[in-house]
Amino acid sequence: MAVLLLVLAGLSAARGSAAEPGVEALALTRDLKVGAVLTATDVAVTRVVSPPDGALADPADVDGRRLTSAARRGEVLTDRRLVDTPGPEPGPGRAAVAVRPADPAVLQLLQAGSAVVVVGIDSAGAVQPLTSDALVLAVLVAGSGSGDRSQPVLLSVPEAEADRLAAAALTGDVALRLR
């Protein structure tokens, strides 16, 4: 009886592995453009006989990551096909803009989440409000000391104000005022 059970178990195991050869990997469920931000619904777990090196198997590993190039439905995703989102997410309807404050001492007063107003100086020397709705995403301060003007502050600003703020940050002095 024991021999019969062993034979049946072996046949069952052989049939199970023959029905599903390969290993689990993620494949795209639809065609996607370069730079597409993936969600768990963009991939499905499939079995692949000979997966490429770096093949991903967990849908949680791709959530929020971007494609490095366009991809077709059914393609197996690898670690090289994806890039992480650069930096903190600015939020819906918002953009991340880096500015270098004219007064580097303000860097010591800021932290992620600080609400600030950004102002600039126009060519006539008048104060020009650039945005009153900015949130600090990251402060890049070099070590200790009083700060360094070359170190930017990454701000989350409304999308409609991002280009104007970015241009002002490149062409002139900007100042940050805590809200």
Specify if 56 maps to a domain. Answer: yes
Q: What is the pTM of this model?
A: 0.55
Q: Which domain covers residue 33, as residue numbers?
A: 22-83
Whole-number pLDDT of residue 20: 65
Domain of 32: which CATH number?
3.90.1210.10
pLDDT in tens, 49-97: 999 999 999 998 888 888 888 999 999 999 988 886 666 778 889 999 9
Instruction: Indicate whether 67 and 99 sit together in one domain.
Output: no
- Specify the number of domains making up the chain: 2
Mean pLDDT computed over every residue of the chain: 84
Specify if 35 maps to a domain. Answer: yes
C-alpha–C-alpha distance, residues 125 and 49, integer Å: 68
In which band, very low, low, confident or very high, does the pLDDT at 139 lie, cut at 50, 70 and 90?
confident
Count of beta carbons in the 10 Å neighbourhood of residue 140: 13
Instruction: Indicate whether 35 and 72 sit together in one domain.
Output: yes
DSSP character at residue 148: -
Instruction: Indicate whether 73 and 147 sit together in one domain.
Output: no
